[in-house]
């Protein structure tokens, strides 16, 4: 489901002629990880994922017992950026897993604020500019800016805090 995918599956990927990664590809992995953790009665983090399905497999999963420490992680670029950051083939927005729709971004923010998402983490594998400055399909997935992960969350929470106090 993910081989050859460059971005989120959807209208933008279709318009750009790029193969999109369906949410189901991540949903299955997150759901599998949560089932295994519960069955094995171990504490471990899930993979870093923008998949929250508006409160589905990730946020909506119960913690069945005290021994089960589910640990949902999201990366800064996943709760700040959306698939629209790809714009016209912006390779700096090519991530794995890809940035998703606005509804997913908002669900991640809600999860961070209500505590159902436990951790902000990134594998942060930056690439040199010359690696990212090529055709979208050929460019590696990940950011080229080594300072970007730390800058994204603060700008997001400033916006989020302003939005909440204005409402």
One DSSP character per residue, 86-127 reads: GTTT-GGG--SSPP--HHHHHHHHHHHHHTSS-EE-------
In a domain, 107, yes or no: yes
In a domain, 1, yes or no: no
Phi-psi region of 145 (alpha: psi -120 to 50; beta: other; left: phi over 0): beta
3-class secondary-structure state, position 44: strand
Read off the pLDDT of residues 118-135 as tens digits, 9 standing for 90 and up.
778 776 677 888 899 999
pTM for this predicted structure: 0.71
Q: Can you give the residue range of the structural domain that contains 77?
A: 7-166
3-class secondary-structure state, position 77: helix
CA atoms within 13 A on the CB side of 75: 23
- Across the range 146-157, mean pLDDT stands at 50
CA angle 3, 17, 152 (to 5 degrees): 75
In a domain, 75, yes or no: yes
Q: What is the CATH number of the domain that holds 115?
A: 3.20.20.140
In a domain, 88, yes or no: yes
In a domain, 114, yes or no: yes
H/E run at residue 45: strand 44-45
- Across the range 55-69, mean pLDDT stands at 43
In a domain, 48, yes or no: yes
Q: Specify the number of domains making up the chain.
A: 1
Enumerate the β-bridge partners of residue 12.
none
Read off the pLDDT of residues 71-91 as tens digits, 9 standing for 90 and up.
677 888 888 899 999 999 999
In a domain, 2, yes or no: no
Reply yes or no on whether 104 is catalytic: no
Q: Which residue out of 53, 118, 123, 145 is catalytically annotated?
A: 123
């Amino acid at each position: 489901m993910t081989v050859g995918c460059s971005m989120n599956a959807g209208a933008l990927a279709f318009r750009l002629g790029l193969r999109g990664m369906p949410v189901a590809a991540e949903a299955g992995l997150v759901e599998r990880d949560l089932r295994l953790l519960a069955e094995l009665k171990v504490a471990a983090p899930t993979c870093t994922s923008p998949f929250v399905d508006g409160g589905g497999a990730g946020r909506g999963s119960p913690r069945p017992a005290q021994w089960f420490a589910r640990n949902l992680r999201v990366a800064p670029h996943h709760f700040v950026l959306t698939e629209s950051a790809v714009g016209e083939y912006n390779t700096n927005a090519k991530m794995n897993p890809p940035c998703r729709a606005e509804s997913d971004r908002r669900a991640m923010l809600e999860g961070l604020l209500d505590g159902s998402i436990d951790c902000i983490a990134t594998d942060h594998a930056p690439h040199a500019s010359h690696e990212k400055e090529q055709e979208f399909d050929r460019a590696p997935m990940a950011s080229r800016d080594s300072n970007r992960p730390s800058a994204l969350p603060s700008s997001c929470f400033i916006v989020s805090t302003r939005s909440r106090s204005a409402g």
